Amino acid sequence: ITNSKVASAYTNALRAVELRPGELHYWEELSASKFREGQFASILKDEPALRAVSGGKLDEETSMRLAYCHYFLGEYDQVIPLTEELIRNNRFFAAPYVLQALTLTALKQYTQAEQVYLGVLQVYPSQESAVEGLAHVHYLLGHSDTAINVLNETSKFPFSPQSRKRFDDLKALYAQ
Q: What is the pTM of this model?
A: 0.90
pLDDT at 163: 95
pLDDT value at position 1? 56
10-residue mean pLDDT series, the chain (176 residues): 74 89 91 94 96 93 97 98 96 96 98 98 95 97 96 93 96 95
- The three-state DSSP-derived secondary structure of the chain is CCHHHHHHHHHHHHHHHHHCCCCHHHHHHHHHHHHHCCCHHHHHHHHHHHHHHCCCCCCHHHHHHHHHHHHHCCCHHHHHHHHHHHHHHCCCCHHHHHHHHHHHHHCCCHHHHHHHHHHHHHHCCCCHHHHHHHHHHHHHCCCHHHHHHHHHHHHHCCCCHHHHHHHHHHHHHHHC
> In the prediction, which pLDDT does 14 show?
87
